Amino acid sequence: MISVEMNPNIIRNIRKVEPYVPGEQPQNRVVKLNTNENPYPPAPGVERVLAEMDTDRFRLYPDPSAAKLVSALAEHHHVGEDQVFVGVGSDDVLAMCFLTFFNSEKPVLFPDITYSFYKVWAELYRIPYECPKLDGDFRIVKEDYRRESGGVIFPNPNAPTAIYEELDFVEDILAHHPDEVVIVDEAYIDFAGRSALELLGRYNNLIVVRTFSKARSMAGMRIGYAVSNPSLIRYLNDVKYSFNSYTMSQVSIACGAEAVRDQAYFQKTIQKIVETREWAKEELQKLGFEFPDSRANFIFARHPRYDAGELFEALKKQDIYVRHWDSERIRQYLRITIGTREEMEQLFAALRTYFKNRT
């Protein structure tokens, strides 16, 4: 129906971005080990809460403060309700953090190999940035962060390397940036170790960001949050309210709050994934793969004898999806999400067959 030609003057003032390409979301049944989702369903209470939703009330705006969810999270982390900010997935929360806190002329620092959205948000908001290189073992070099900056952000564990750094490392970065905000993106912390949350009382420049998409099995509901001191959370809320007062739907608020409450189920799921991961490491080693030690729900692995791009395509042909980036330094790696034991068995069987046919 559109027949009019586009006017180049209109195009001139449009913000152009290099869009992030998310992992594929095939809609058919496949072995899906490509976007670090949880292989187990969310807490059983979520189904009950959904069934009890009063759809007649959908006609009303949700509570803009998402108080029930904020309060469940505050209680869970033993912090004040004024220390929690919630958003539509941690991507929404992180993007709001970039917009709110990274307004210096000096560059924001994040690793060259890390969550690829950081660069995209910096470019979207025209924030200067620099990317210190990970070392040869894919570790963040803390000394590279001892310089003037407009802020720092890094995931811990880092993605896609799965490497976890202990809290003294996090503290070193916080201590060297007293005048800037430091964001620790803890999307995978539940599979890893101690959280930077325990440093909140000592560093007023710290923001810890979390997601419901990984350990909480709620990627489909879009919930993320930040924990910090009340002052930084207030600035974040001011920007959020000016952007869109009602971001969290009634359903996200209710289901999210319920998911937080069931700590026993949560711990059991994590335990299962960690056990599968440790076993998967052994199996991958037996198959000849090399990888940094993973503390997340995925393994970043290369094989010295097989091209990662070809492996990726071969697996895909068998409906086994892992993640591969055709980028410098990581071209020979696959990021493999930890699925159920059965899914991992299918992956390993496919790899064995592939290797056999190639030798």
Residue 47 · residue 335 · CB < 8 Å: no
CB of residue 160 to a second copy, shortest distance in Å: 16
Cβ neighbors of 215 (< 8 A, separation 6 or more) are 38, 188, 190, 191, 266, 269, 270, 273, 297
> For residues 359 and 340, what is the distance between their CA atoms, to the nearest angstrom?
29
Q: Is 217 left (phi over 0), alpha (psi -120 to 50) or beta?
A: left
Shortest distance in whole angstroms from residue 352 CB to a second copy: 27
Q: Which of 210, 222, 295, 335 binds a second copy (CB under 8 A)?
A: 222
Is residue 28 part of the contact set for a second copy (CB under 8 A)? no
Contact 275, 283 (CB under 8 A): no
Among 146, 148, 193, 241, binds a second copy (CB under 8 A): 241
Reduce the DSSP state of residue 256 to 3 states and report it: helix
- The CB-of-311 to a second copy minimum distance in angstroms stands at 23
Q: Which is nearer to a second copy, 80 or 193 (CB)?
A: 80
Q: Measured from the CB of residue 358, what is the shortest distance to a second copy in angstroms?
A: 32
Please report how close the Cβ of residue 298 comes to a second copy at its closest, in angstroms: 14
Among positions 114-143, residues that touch a second copy (CB under 8 A) are 117, 120-121, 123-124
Stretch that binds a second copy, among 22-30, 138-146, 311-319, 325-333 (CB under 8 A): 22-30
Question: Which of 28, 61, 143, 326 forms a contact with a second copy (CB under 8 A)?
Answer: 61
Question: Residue 4 interacts with a second copy (CB under 8 A)?
Answer: yes
Task: Decide: is 37 part of the binding site for a second copy (CB under 8 A).
Answer: yes
DSSP state at residue 31: E
Write down the least CB distance from residue 220 to a second copy, Å: 4
- If phi > 0 it is left, if psi is from -120 to 50 it is alpha, else beta; for residue 151 that is left
- Check binding of 91 to a second copy (CB under 8 A): yes
71 binds a second copy (CB under 8 A): no
Exposed e or buried b per residue across 14-41, where buried means at least 16 C-beta atoms within 10 angstroms of its C-beta: eeeeeeeeebeeeeeeebbbbbbbbbbe
Which sign, positive or negative, has the C-alpha torsion 280, 142, 113, 156?
positive
Q: Does 167 bind a second copy (CB under 8 A)?
A: no
Residues 269-328 that bind a second copy (CB under 8 A): none
Cβ atoms of residues 189 and 165 within 8 Å = no
Inter-CA distances, 239 with 20, 67, 124, 317, Å: 23, 18, 16, 45
41 in contact with a second copy (CB under 8 A): yes
Chain residues 176-215 in contact with a second copy, contact rule CB under 8 A: 178-181, 200-205, 213
Stretch that binds a second copy, among 43-51, 183-191, 311-319, 346-354 (CB under 8 A): 43-51
CB of 227 to a second copy, least distance (A): 11
CA pair distance 279, 84, nearest whole angstrom? 36
Q: Shortest Cβ distance from residue 51 to a second copy (Å)?
A: 7
